[in-house]
Amino acid sequence: MTDAISHPVPSRSVAVAAMLCSAACWGGATVMTKGALDAFDPFILLVIQLVASVAALWTAVLLSSTSLLAFRPMVRAGSTGVLEPGLAYAVGVPGLALTTAGNASVIAALEPVFIFLGAWLLFRTRPTLRAIVAIVTAVIGVTLVSLTDPAGLGGGSVLGDGLVLFGTALAAAYVLASSKLAVTMPAVLLTALQQTAGLGLVVILSAFALFAGWQSLPASVTLPALGLAILSGLIQYALAFWLYIVGLKGIAPGLAGMFLTTTPIFGVFGGIVFLGERLVLSQLLGMTLVIVSLVALLRSRGG
């Protein structure tokens, strides 16, 4: 075992491609998760997904002969997984049950804003005026893509909105923490450590939810339903998070947060292809705003 060391930084084009692919994985897996939720309660599904992801990631670590670090650096790196997928989902799932889909969509769109602010406060990376305009435009775009029915706003509880907001802030904190760790170890090892810690927390919380009667095990499970749950876990957690960590090696956290705004776009197209959903004009406008703002920020030296 070795101490943490720097690893090769991918080129900007490779990092951008990794970020876009991770967003595509998250967006596409959202469609799969919707289907899997018909067979499993949320926390039970999350456990299945993370077990599949962790197993795949550690298999990749072994097959790639990736060197492990000393125990303490690995524990520190893995602890960031408590933020996401641990606590971010642990508070986000109950929050979704207490608020409306419209409220949750708008609140979740604030994650890139939190990342920009966090990078400014923690790393002294002050955003340029162009970056500020781009992020505001992208947030408006994400809102239009995610919120097809304005009537979905309002109606949720303050507690539900607060939990979703807290979960969004935790997800942003995960990105900021991972941006510093990404250059100290291979992406697959960091992702495996983080998700192992996240799985441990989720298992504990799921056991508590089962004991309290908030969640229940399915009476029966079909092979297709279990396969869908496992596949969604591999794509949404193993592949998506690994690609995102690869991207973080070559892109500043503020810009990395902007790529998250493309996730709903991939989710919408996944819904169109696999669920037969229709694209509405407001979503098309939102997609345009997101893409234009992201391209503008990529071309900006401040990005």
Tell me, yes or no, whether 1 lies in a domain.
no
Task: Please name the residue that has the structure tokens 């799969």.
Answer: 32
- For residue 217, the enclosing domain spans 27-299
Which residue type occupies 130? R
DSSP 260: G
Q: In the chain, what percentage of residues exceed pLDDT 70?
A: 92
DSSP 270: H
Residues in Cβ contact with 70 at an 8 Å cutoff, skipping those fewer than 6 apart = 1, 2, 3
Nearest to 189 by CA among 152, 238, 153: 238
Tell me, yes or no, whether 138 lies in a domain.
yes
Q: Which pLDDT score, from 0 to 100, does residue 5 have? A: 53
Compute the distance between CA of residue 59 and CA of residue 143 in angstroms, rounded to an integer.
38
Compute the distance between CA of residue 244 and CA of residue 145 in angstroms, rounded to an integer.
22
Mean pLDDT of 99-121: 81
Contact 27, 240 (CB under 8 A): no
Tell me, yes or no, whether 9 lies in a domain.
no
Q: Which pLDDT score, from 0 to 100, does residue 156 have? A: 66
Q: Which pLDDT score, from 0 to 100, does residue 18 have? A: 96
Reported as type and span, the H/E element at residue 142 is: helix 129-146
Contact 31, 275 (CB under 8 A): yes
pLDDT band at 155 (very low <50, low <70, confident <90, very high): low
Max Cα distance, the chain (Å): 56
Compute the distance between CA of residue 232 and CA of residue 28 in angstroms, rounded to an integer.
9
Q: 70: which 2 tokens?
A: 């000393």
| Total domain count, the chain | 1
**More confidently predicted of 127 and 118:** 118
Q: Which pLDDT score, from 0 to 100, does residue 275 have? A: 76
Residues in Cβ contact with 241 at an 8 Å cutoff, skipping those fewer than 6 apart = 22, 53, 85, 191, 194, 195
Mean pLDDT of 109-116: 87
Tell me, yes or no, whether 88 lies in a domain.
yes
Q: Which pLDDT score, from 0 to 100, does residue 83 have? A: 94
| Angle between the N-to-C axes of helices 129-146 and 101-108, in degrees from 0 to 180, rounded to the nearest 10 | 160
Tell me, yes or no, whether 101 lies in a domain.
yes
Which residue type occupies 138? A
Contact 6, 245 (CB under 8 A): no
Highest-pLDDT range among 8-12, 35-39, 152-156, 187-191? 187-191
Compute the distance between CA of residue 11 and CA of residue 277 in angstroms, rounded to an integer.
37
Q: Which pLDDT score, from 0 to 100, does residue 70 have? A: 86
What's the chain's Rg over C-alpha atoms?
19
Tell me, yes or no, whether 114 lies in a domain.
yes
Compute the distance between CA of residue 277 and CA of residue 46 in angstroms, rounded to an integer.
25
Q: Which pLDDT score, from 0 to 100, does residue 252 have? A: 87
Contact 8, 179 (CB under 8 A): no
Residues in Cβ contact with 140 at an 8 Å cutoff, skipping those fewer than 6 apart = 286, 289
Q: 196: which 2 tokens?
A: 């192992």
Mean pLDDT of 159-165: 87
Tell me the pLDDT of the chain averaged across its residues: 87
Q: Which pLDDT score, from 0 to 100, does residue 102 have? A: 66
For the stretch 244-302, pLDDT in tens is 999 999 998 888 889 999 988 988 888 888 778 788 888 899 999 999 999 998 887 54
Tell me, yes or no, whether 12 lies in a domain.
no
Tell me, yes or no, whether 177 lies in a domain.
yes
Q: Which pLDDT score, from 0 to 100, does residue 82 have? A: 94
Compute the distance between CA of residue 12 and CA of residue 108 in angstroms, rounded to an integer.
27
Asked whether residue 303 carries a pLDDT value surpassing 50, the answer given is: no
Nearest to 68 by CA among 234, 247, 195, 193: 193
Determine the length of the chain.
Answer: 303
For the stretch 6-45, pLDDT in tens is 567 788 899 999 999 999 999 888 888 888 888 998 889 9
Asked whether residue 129 carries a pLDDT value surpassing 90, the answer given is: no
